[in-house]
Structure 1
């Protein structure tokens, strides 16, 4: 049986396969550490073969992907100055292939299909974590937090915040019929419960802000394009002013206290200081991609010991830009920042300065969530995690591809009985 290409690569017709592929990806991002390479192979299997199904689709406007490709090339070339070239080479290839999968997904999956697949994947991920039911002690503040099948409360908190976010935007913008409520209610309940018991302050603080922003963008649909521009400029200015006033009046400490944090952000400021000192030893190019947190290296071993990381893996500077400075220098930090900002402001411009589209609003919320978390977590610099996949998916969605439709040509009429030639196209009658 021959399967039509459109059921695999056409965003308007492949909702079933696309949702399945996204759900498999979410599961792989969450539990590949537990179940091993088979999940990574499954992740590749649902995306990369689509290139062979319709390779022309992926060549259209390929030049629009120049910035992520430039960053991926820089990451790969860092093997030449890396202090751990073997680790850099392996991880860089993984990161490059991860970007390729996000590119394929963006060209073949609509935002609605992404949302449905994410909801399905998050539901099963949280069910499994509840089945595992593991708790972990935070040695820095002495609290016990639910981590499920994850390594930390912030990881499962991120999944919970994504579950709430995708449920809300699906019901607000993308639902079709009552079945949508049946799909989202279990995910919302599970995500909210996990978010509460995990005590992830980052997730609990970021999701209300993102939902408030999405609500404002949704209301902006009622305004004309001119008024949207004015309100956006005024709102952006007010946010800057409020942030400056809050910092000067010490309101930041009050907000942190609500979530049980102090001004050191549970030791993060010390980590940032250590990261900055490490970055200054090689400020332009860094020590090489994924080449700092390597077993046997003195500085990494010292920080693992100070923060009681007995596994000596899975640790970072809890700041995307500090991590980028250490591994890739100012060059890499600027590139990843440009990708983040280009994606965010590209979708904002689509909503504010062009025709209002729900898909862009959904992706703005995703990018704002990642932007907030980027200052206290590292979720866009590594392969096989949800943060980097969603960022690159959102970036590649900036390219508006033309919709290709089948062009039908009129059939030739039967051959003329006398001349043996088709009667169409009709020729003028010869003069007698």
Structure 2
């Protein structure tokens, strides 16, 4: 009788899952189907533990569920419903995979898939012309410079986690270092100053925070330091916002050869804020802002010099989610960020190479991206998948309970 190794099955399904997300742009429906098949099979394999996982992570499911409900007031209800269901599936698949697959297998397979992706992007001759700046930027196998930059930055974090892992042989650690270098070269070719600076800042902040967590301090003193860190960060953000509205910032950006309007983001933000005032509580509905025929979308597409119907967002996570799901969605997102920060503050296992250390880096990157990009809550994307996995790595402290459902028919 043929026996199939369970770990081999998990590895094969995980490979399908990652390739389905990373090559979604290149292969379209085929890649999405691979992702769906692998995710569904994971849920079937661990159906007895799935309910316990969903019950213990209700907050992470709140936005996807609200996205589905938003079809009730969306001008394009079928699009909102389909997108919401896809987002819910992406979230659930990420949760179950992170909860049941060993981290060393997870990060190793992710690293291999990212390496293939980054290599194809590095040797690619696909460039896109920015209609506003005239700048030509590498897009590789993706549709946009921003999407490539985000994937390359996440690839750097995956490679660094492999390099620092104590579970792998030296050859695997070296592979991780090679992935870091390759991914960073792709970032440089993409000419994305924001992603380059953010990636370096994430590594620095992660190092400082892990070092801070290892310092032996009394509970009272650490509590005061935690508040000091939070207040200092808020002051830093406020200072950056004030500097961004001065002529000094404009001059510095011009000296760097960059647009002081952040490639038109300031105009896009202003239009998003106007939409929020018009639909404050529930918003327009999930993915119901940028569709052909919507005056708001058409105005932004024309301003950005991109074709009508092109994929787009408000390049700010707080504005983007509030436009689509109102102040209710924005409030849930803030709660989610607060819970993330609390989980990190209470975690004592933070170190480079561990799943908690990887979760720290992913959260820092995705959090810093919230001010200039909208990478959270995008179905079938590696960014949303990894942030959900990071949540599980930080929150799961005990084994999942096996819950058998009995249906009386």
Q: Give the shorter-chain TM-score range.
A: 0.7 to 0.9
Structure exhibiting the larger radius of gyration computed from Cα positions:
1
Alignment-derived partner of residue 117 in structure 1? 109
Alignment-derived partner of residue 26 in structure 1? 18
* Residues 217, 361 of structure 1: 8 Å contact kept: no
Alignment-derived partner of residue 233 in structure 2? 239
* Residues 324, 333 of structure 1: 8 Å contact kept: yes
Alignment-derived partner of residue 361 in structure 2? 365
Alignment-derived partner of residue 429 in structure 1? none
Alignment-derived partner of residue 322 in structure 2? 325
Note closer, same or farther for the CA distance 1:3–1:304 as it changes in structure 2 (3 Å cut).
same
Instruction: Check if 1:261 corresponds to 2:255.
Output: no
**TM-score between both structures, scaled by the size of structure 1:** 0.83
- Distance in 2 between the 1:331 and 1:236 partners? 24
1:236 CA displacement: 3.7
- Aligned mate of 1:133, from 96, 117, 125: 125
**Where does structure 1 lack aligned partners over 5 or more consecutive residues?**
8-13, 406-432
What is the CA deviation profile of residues 334-386 of structure 1, one whole-angstrom value per residue up to 9, with x for unaligned ones?
112322332243133213xxx55632222011011001111111111220111
1:286 CA displacement: 0.8
Q: Secondary structure at the match of 1:261?
A: coil
Instruction: Check if 1:379 corresponds to 2:375.
Output: yes
What is the CA deviation profile of residues 185-204 of structure 1, one whole-angstrom value per residue up to 9, with x for unaligned ones?
43123212111010112211
Note closer, same or farther for the CA distance 1:87–1:224 as it changes in structure 2 (3 Å cut).
same
Instruction: Check if 1:55 corresponds to 2:52.
Output: no
Instruction: Check if 1:41 corresponds to 2:33.
Output: yes
- Distance in 2 between the 1:385 and 1:258 partners? 35
- Aligned mate of 1:73, from 43, 65, 68: 65
- Aligned mate of 1:87, from 79, 102, 124: 79
Q: How does 1:29-428 map to 2 (within 5 A)?
A: 29-220=21-212, 222-224=214-216, 226=218, 231-245=225-239, 256=253, 260-310=257-307, 312-351=309-348, 356=350, 358-397=354-393, 398-402=395-399
Q: Secondary structure at the match of 2:129?
A: strand
* Residues 22, 114 of structure 1: 8 Å contact kept: yes
- Distance in 1 between the 2:104 and 2:251 partners? 38
- Distance in 1 between the 2:372 and 2:55 partners? 32
Note closer, same or farther for the CA distance 1:80–1:108 as it changes in structure 2 (3 Å cut).
same
The count of aligned residue pairs is 393
- Distance in 2 between the 1:229 and 1:174 partners? 31
Q: Secondary structure at the match of 1:290?
A: coil
Note closer, same or farther for the CA distance 1:359–1:34 as it changes in structure 2 (3 Å cut).
closer
What is the CA deviation profile of residues 269-304 of structure 1, one whole-angstrom value per residue up to 9, with x for unaligned ones?
110000111121111011111111111222212221
- Distance in 2 between the 1:144 and 1:22 partners? 35
What is the CA deviation profile of residues 155-195 of structure 1, one whole-angstrom value per residue up to 9, with x for unaligned ones?
11112212222222322244522122342243123212111
- Distance in 1 between the 2:166 and 2:134 partners? 42
**TM-score between both structures, scaled by the size of structure 2:** 0.87
* Residues 52, 400 of structure 2: 8 Å contact kept: no
Q: CA RMSD of the aligned region, Å?
A: 2.7
* Residues 61, 399 of structure 1: 8 Å contact kept: no
* Residues 165, 173 of structure 2: 8 Å contact kept: no
Q: Secondary structure at the match of 1:145?
A: strand
Q: Secondary structure at the match of 2:296?
A: helix
Note closer, same or farther for the CA distance 1:129–1:371 as it changes in structure 2 (3 Å cut).
same
* Residues 80, 288 of structure 2: 8 Å contact kept: yes
1:133 CA displacement: 1.9
Note closer, same or farther for the CA distance 1:236–1:302 as it changes in structure 2 (3 Å cut).
closer
- Distance in 1 between the 2:373 and 2:263 partners? 13
* Residues 163, 175 of structure 2: 8 Å contact kept: no
* Residues 167, 184 of structure 1: 8 Å contact kept: yes
What is the CA deviation profile of residues 199-220 of structure 1, one whole-angstrom value per residue up to 9, with x for unaligned ones?
1122111011110122123434
Alignment-derived partner of residue 407 in structure 2? none
